[in-house]
Structure 1
Amino acid sequence: MENNAITIEVSINAPITKVWKYWTEPEHIKNWAFAADTWHAPQAANDLRVSGKFSTTMAAKDGSVSFDFWGIYTDVIENKLIAYEMGDGRKAKISFSEQEGKTHIVETFDPENENPLEMQRDGWQAILNNFKAHAER
């Protein structure tokens, strides 16, 4: 991870086994992997193992723009940790911990160089907040 890595976090009112399932299964990923209501994730694939690849298509609902967010897993410890390298070489790490029936997620990622750090933090946090809403439904 770079020195200017960004960290975001959330606590979810759900047990870690449910949170892990919702984070890693493509049919759930499609329900939360976008930052705004005007976007969606029409496709997701996930080979959750070291050297496995994941890919999520994030697209504007009006069809004006879309992109694939993808990477290769570098570490996977069920219900505890996911680390990966994104397609552009940046790294990310997500840790999961449970206490009293709630799951805490801490996500740290290397920022890209095109957008302001605050914008990147806000966008990734919005996706994490979407995940929280999906997992708590």
Structure 2
Amino acid sequence: METITVQVVIDAATEKVWDFWTKPEHITQWTHASDDWHAPYAENDVRTGGKFKTTMAAKDGSFSFDFEGTYIEVKTYNLLEYILEDSRKVKIDFIKEGDKTKVIETFDPEGTNPVEMQKGGWQAILDNFKKYTETN
């Protein structure tokens, strides 16, 4: 199965981008694809073999799920690779471009939803991350 890639260029230093991506107090502020969702809980042990979990929930309380996995490679300020609970792999590259940072996420699609829907959802979350990081 082919992987899906989403990316964004953020007007911020790589160190700030890394911190906002990895620290739970920031993760809960940007991890949602639309304004009727939020992330009320996040934990993150950023090291090879470490685990993470983010709870994503509809603001009206109708639905929630935990997005969780285990890091298989961590290179501070450069790379995060992890395996999700359903065995899909995700790779996130952080690339310094002058005073900006390009974030590229490549992930294995799940088999339930159309690829374009998955790509759109992950891109929306990445766009929220860009907006949050650039305005805080």
TM band (smaller chain): over 0.9
When the two chains are superposed, the root-mean-square deviation of aligned CA atoms in Å is 0.5
Shift of 1:100: 1.5
**Partner residue of 1:119?**
117
Runs (4+) off by over 4 Å: none
Shift of 1:21: 0.2
Please point out which of 66, 72, 94 is paired with 1:96: 94
Q: Which whole-Å CA distance do the structure 2 matches of 1:99 and 1:119 have between them?
A: 29
AA paired with 1:45?
A: E
**Partner residue of 2:39?**
41
**Partner residue of 2:64?**
66
Identity %: 56
Q: Which whole-Å CA distance do the structure 2 matches of 1:63 and 1:99 have between them?
A: 40
**Partner residue of 2:107?**
109
Deviations 1:74-105, CA, capped at 9 Å, x for gaps? 00000000000001000000000111200000
Please point out which of 72, 84, 87 is paired with 2:85: 87
More off after superposition, 109-118 vs 95-104: 95-104
Q: Which whole-Å CA distance do the structure 1 matches of 2:70 and 2:13 have between them?
A: 26
TM-score by length of 1: 0.98
Give the secondary structure class of the aligned counterpart of 2:48: coil
**Partner residue of 1:52?**
50
Q: Which whole-Å CA distance do the structure 1 matches of 2:31 and 2:103 have between them?
A: 15
Q: Which whole-Å CA distance do the structure 2 matches of 1:55 and 1:34 have between them?
A: 14
Q: Which whole-Å CA distance do the structure 2 matches of 1:39 and 1:99 have between them?
A: 31
- Aligned residue-pair number: 135
Give the secondary structure class of the aligned counterpart of 1:131: helix
Q: Which whole-Å CA distance do the structure 1 matches of 2:46 and 2:98 have between them?
A: 27
Give the secondary structure class of the aligned counterpart of 1:79: coil
TM-score by length of 2: 0.98
AA paired with 1:93?
A: K
Gaps of 5+ in 2: none
Q: Which whole-Å CA distance do the structure 2 matches of 1:99 and 1:33 have between them?
A: 24
Shift of 1:127: 0.3
